[in-house]
Amino acid sequence: MEQRFVDVVREDDQFVVDVPGPQQLDEAGIEVAVTSLSTPGVWFGNQGEARDLARKCNEYAAQMKRDFKGRYGSFATLPLPDVEASVKEVGRLVDELKLEGVCLLTNVNDV
């Protein structure tokens, strides 16, 4: 199975995500792409920012699933080490966004 990575660039306080579209998936022979956010995740020392960024990432992934039914799945991002916010986000992922699961990093904030 071939793995491809997506670039996320921060420009003018906005995150720009370059995700292969269905045409690129077809050209590469990929039937379904599953997205997830890798290290360093969304934790940069501020709980509020981590919560907001996790929600935005998860909403973006859910929108991709809606826009391109059957072509994308996603493992959601959690705002760890904020456990309370992470538990709330898991509920939203299951009930509202319908994402496939969560991606847990092995280390957040050196823990």
Q: What percent of the chain has pLDDT over 90?
A: 49
pLDDT of residue 4: 45
What gap in Å lies between CA 95 and CA 84, rounded to an integer? 17
Rounded to whole angstroms, what are the CA distances from 93 to 2, 30, 34, 59? Answer: 27, 25, 15, 9
Single-letter code of the amino acid located at 65: K
Task: Give tens-digit pLDDT for 69-96.
Answer: 999 999 999 999 999 999 999 999 988 9
**Among 2-16, 34-48, 97-111, which stretch is predicted with the lowest mean pLDDT?**
2-16
pTM: 0.79
